[in-house]
């Protein structure tokens, strides 16, 4: 046993160990330059070199193991060369754990104006100052290498929903050619390059893209192009079909997803890694996740409610503050509101992932999954009724 542990320790970055599997759901470990991460895993989003409202130490205390940085935002401000001269993104943002950066592709298409796509790359105007910029597989790789990311995402084209089949097909082929250029441009052996499967909402195109992307041998693969406004059932169906077809011995990452229900369905489909702004963004808007559904803390009924948001939750917020206080500081626009709400929501997400992992390791995934699905589907119905 000891010698096998030694073997694991000496494995290079990208080593991926599946510790347990139940149906398609897996519990695994991935080695990065800044340490191992345990999956299924949720990665809090630290767009501009900070997970909004949080300090790195608080993220660690909540059990976060890896955070996401956004290439598009960091390229525009403060610039990757500046960050590189300051010792890289880890030192810059005081985070010693692993970092995954996206390729910038998604933001180019969602945030910037007047983007123009060519074989070479994308020309766009900065959403900050309107300055003209250019991103390509080569520049995206260079930026992510300058940042010193542990996991680097290939540069892909992200289409809006809906797009016609012809367009999706052309875009998918472009994404494949961009992947090959991304791989050639990736010269930093400490980082792991993940390829991104596109193909819109057609299962046949998704499968075709999967085949293209996985024809390039990489340490990990992702499903991109979701969370762009498509009906949630279609996303669930595609993840259920495509997830299990992804290379079994590599980490699988579903980008930009999602709700607690989405996460359980995706883990059940064999997905290992997730990121989403949802828990942090809705926290700042006063929406909090509980096992009984979402709570809008501004509601009048909480005005004098002395109870914690969720009495079964053991996060800092629930252990120390009443619903009445959370409502008061939210309505007053106080910074502590964003802090307390973000702590709670990230705790909810990270705790859910931890419970999923435990249940896979302990062999009771199906029971746990079904309990989650029943609860979350029922919550969703109640929320739809109450809105």
List interacting residues with a copy of itself (CB under 8 A). 48-50, 52-55, 77-78, 82, 85-87, 92-94, 303-304, 306, 320-322, 324-325, 327-329, 331-332, 334-336, 338-339
C-alpha–C-alpha distance, residues 193 and 21, integer Å: 25
Instruction: Report the nearest approach of a copy of itself to the CB of residue 232 (Å).
Output: 30
DSSP class of residue 302? G
Least Å from the CB of residue 193 to a copy of itself: 27
Q: Least Å distance between CB 301 and a copy of itself?
A: 13
Q: How far apart are CA 135 and CA 185, in angstroms?
A: 13
Taking every pair of C-alpha atoms in the chain, what is the biggest distance, in angstroms? 61
Residue number, 54 or 141, with CB nearest to a copy of itself: 54
- From 161, 327, 137, select the one nearest 230 (Cα to Cα): 161
Distance CA 220, CA 293 (A): 33
In the bound state with a copy of itself, the residue whose beta carbon lies nearer, of 127 and 240, is: 127
Q: Which is nearer to a copy of itself, 39 or 47 (CB)?
A: 47
If one counts every other C-beta atom within 10 angstroms of the C-beta of residue 227, the result is 19
Nearer to a copy of itself, 285 or 374 (CB): 285
> Hey, what are 241's tokens?
């079909």
Residue partners of 316: CB distance under 8 A and separation at least 6: 340, 343, 347
Nearer to a copy of itself, 4 or 332 (CB): 332
Active-site residue flag, 275: yes
Please, what is the minimum distance in Å from the beta carbon of residue 55 to a copy of itself? 7
Neighbouring residues of 369: CB distance < 8 A, sequence distance ≥ 6: 25, 264, 267, 268, 356, 359
Q: What is the DSSP string of 39-86?
A: ESEEE-B-TTSS-TT--HHHHHHTT---EEE-HHHHHHTT-HHHHHHT
CB of 81 vs a copy of itself, minimal distance in Å: 9
Contact criterion met (CB below 8 Å) for 281 and 345: no
Options 146, 156, 275, 310, the catalytic residue: 275
Contact 27, 357 (CB under 8 A): yes
CA-CA distance, 376 to 300, in Å (whole number)? 25
d(CA 352, CA 357): 9
Contact indicator for 105, 137 with CB cutoff of 8 Å: no
User: Minimum distance from CB of 379 to a copy of itself (Å)?
Assistant: 28
Q: Which is nearer to a copy of itself, 332 or 387 (CB)?
A: 332
Measured from the CB of residue 305, what is the shortest distance to a copy of itself in angstroms?
Answer: 9
From the candidates 102, 146, 150, 272, which is the catalytic residue? 102
Q: Which is nearer to a copy of itself, 96 or 292 (CB)?
A: 96
The residue behind tokens 């106080």 is 334
**CB contact at 8 A, 273 and 252:** yes
Phi (first) and psi of residue 104, to 5 degrees? 95, -20
**What would the two tokens of residue 16 be?**
């991926």
Give the residue numbers annotated as catalytic, written as ranges: 102, 275
């Amino acid at each position: 046993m000891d010698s096998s542990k030694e073997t694991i320790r000496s494995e290079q970055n990208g080593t991926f160990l599946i510790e347990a599997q139940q149906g398609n759901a897996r519990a695994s470990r991935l080695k990065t330059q800044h340490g191992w991460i345990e999956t299924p895993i949720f990665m809090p989003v630290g767009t501009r070199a900070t997970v909004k409202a949080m300090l790195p130490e608080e993220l660690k205390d909540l059990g976060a193991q890896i955070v996401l940085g956004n290439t598009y935002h960091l390229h525009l401000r403060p610039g990757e060369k500046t960050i590189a001269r300051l010792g890289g993104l880890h030192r810059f943002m005081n985070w010693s754990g692993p970092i995954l950066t996206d390729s910038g592709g998604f933001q180019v298409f969602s945030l910037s104006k007047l983007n123009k796509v060519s074989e070479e790359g994308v020309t766009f105007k900065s959403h900050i100052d309107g300055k003209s910029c250019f991103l390509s597989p080569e520049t995206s790789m260079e930026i992510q290498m300058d940042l010193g990311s542990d996991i680097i995402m290939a540069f892909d084209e992200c289409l809006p929903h809906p797009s016609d089949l012809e367009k999706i097909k052309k875009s998918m082929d472009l994404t494949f050619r961009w992947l090959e250029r991304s791989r050639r441009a990736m010269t930093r052996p400490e980082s792991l390059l993940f390829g991104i499967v596109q193909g819109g909402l057609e299962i046949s195109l998704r499968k075709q893209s999967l085949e293209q992307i996985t024809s390039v041998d990489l340490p990990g693969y992702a499903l991109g192009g979701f969370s762009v406004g498509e009906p949630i059932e279609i996303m669930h169906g595609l993840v259920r079909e495509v997830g299990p077809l992804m290379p079994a011995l590599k980490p699988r990452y579903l980008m930009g997803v999602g709700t607690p229900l989405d996460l359980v369905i995706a883990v059940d489909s064999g997905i290992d890694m997730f990121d989403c702004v949802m828990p942090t963004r809705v926290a700042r808007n006063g929406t909090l996740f509980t096992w009984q559904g979402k709570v809008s803390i501004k509601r009048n009924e909480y005005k004098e409610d002395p109870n914690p948001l969720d009495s079964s939750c053991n996060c800092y917020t629930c252990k120390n503050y009443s619903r009445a206080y959370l409502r008061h500081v939210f309505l007053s626009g106080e910074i502590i509101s964003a802090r307390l709400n973000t702590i709670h929501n990230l705790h909810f997400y990270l705790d859910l992932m931890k419970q999923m992992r435990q249940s896979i390791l302990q062999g009771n995934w199906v029971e746990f999954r079904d309990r989650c699905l029943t609860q979350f589907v029922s919550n969703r119905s109640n929320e739809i009724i109450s809105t």
